[in-house]
Amino acid sequence: MLRIDHIGIAVRNMADSNELFRKLLGEAHYKIENVDSEKVATSFFHIGESKIELLEASDPDSPIAKFIEKRGEGIHHIAFEVDDIRAEIERLEAEGFVPLNREPKLGADNKLVAFLHPKSSGGVLVELCQGIPA
């Protein structure tokens, strides 16, 4: 793993949360993006070499809507940047981690993503991400 790419935070209201994090971090978000496959809208903030990703449900049946209903707003996942996502999924599975998706899918911020089940990673939803060359 190369570094922490971002921390995902589930929010109820993107506009309110964008303003809150603008005040907290001292600068505005640099991008908003919809990820239709996950039924979510995302907003990204730079923080050093990492990012904060705000996640707002775009559908009441989305994973983020269910997360907020069950746990409320807050940290949803931590994402690690990797060089080779398929090799990393294979390595982690051999170490006993349980992938939620063995085949990476297109996620926000022009990245391939895969997730590890929180039950296999100490209660933390882990995202692996690999940039897609432009």
The answer to whether 10 and 65 are in contact (CB under 8 A) is no
pLDDT number for residue 9: 98
Q: Is 48 left (phi over 0), alpha (psi -120 to 50) or beta?
A: left
Q: Is residue 46 over pLDDT 80? A: yes
The DSSP bridge pattern shows strands 105-107 and 126-131 to be: unpaired
pLDDT in tens, 109-128: 889 999 999 999 999 999 99
Task: List, for residues 71-116, the tens digit of each pLDDT value.
Answer: 999 999 999 999 999 999 999 999 999 999 999 999 998 899 999 9
For 30, counting Cβ atoms within 10 Å of its Cβ (0-12 exposed, 13-18 middle, 19+ buried), the class is exposed
**With a threshold of 0.85, does the pTM exceed it?**
yes
Distance CA 72, CA 67 (A): 7
Q: Are 53 and 42 in contact (CB under 8 A)?
A: yes
